[in-house]
Amino acid sequence: MKRGLDIIAALVGLIVLMPLFVVVAILIRADSPGPVFFQQERIGKGFRPFWIYKFRTMVKDAPRKGGPLTTSGDPRVTRIGKILRQTKIDELPQLINILRGDMSLVGPRPEVCQYVELFRKNYETILAVRPGITDPASLKYRDESAILARSKDPEQEYIQRVLPDKIRLGEEYVRQSSLVVDLVLIFKTILAVIPRRYADKGLHPETSSKNSEAS
């Protein structure tokens, strides 16, 4: 049932969002040289690797100019890229991954191989399901780049603190997964990307929280 709903949602989403995709593609190409889409190998269900699709938000060949992590103020991020990241529009091409069967709308976010191998035992539970576009960890760490930027060693901060917490949340999601849980997470994700100016008017779900949630 979940797979069927994923396919329908992805198809409808791609059709409805096609005009936005065209506009974003034009803006990306006008802002900096390079492809419209960014592809990166991630580890999916059953430890099967796949290529994840995103709108490119960084300069061409960014992986060769820095590590896999991105922090606030990263010079590799383009002008339009900053907007795409803040609004999470850069994640929308993953609807293609859903149609291909690589991902689901809701599920633990897919990681790169080097980090999965560090916690392989934990990922045996997490990768029993398809990774998703959103999950509890995506919401909690929506401002992950800002969190990492405050650390003297962003990669160690990610490996020792952030990733273990993401894994914990991923394991909890797998144990509690249901259609209701997924619908609630989708609703929370939509609210989380509402521009902050609406939050100032009391329309954002996290206005009373000291820290905004991340993805």
Give the C-alpha separation, 158 to 71, whole Å: 11
Q: Which residues pair with 37 in a beta bridge?
A: 55
The answer to pTM > 0.75 is yes
Q: Do 130 and 106 touch, CB atoms closer than 8 A? A: no
Give the C-alpha separation, 107 to 41, whole Å: 17
- Determine the pLDDT at residue 75: 85
Tell me the three state secondary structure of residue 57: coil
Tell me the three state secondary structure of residue 74: coil
Q: Do 93 and 20 touch, CB atoms closer than 8 A? A: no
Nearest 5°: phi and psi at 201? Answer: -95, 5
- Determine the pLDDT at residue 195: 60
- Determine the pLDDT at residue 210: 35
DSSP state of 4: H
**C-alpha 183: how far from chain center:** 17
Tell me the three state secondary structure of residue 206: coil
Which segments of the chain have a pLDDT < 70? 63, 65-67, 195-215
In our burial notation (b when 16+ CB lie closer than 10 A, e otherwise), range 201-213 reads eeebbbeeeeebb
- Determine the pLDDT at residue 70: 77
Q: Do 138 and 166 touch, CB atoms closer than 8 A? A: no
**C-alpha 1: how far from chain center:** 23
Q: Do 107 and 129 touch, CB atoms closer than 8 A? A: yes
What percent helix, strand, coil does the chain show, rounded to 5?
55, 10, 35
Give the C-alpha separation, 188 to 168, whole Å: 19
Helix or strand holding residue 125 (H, E) = helix 120-126
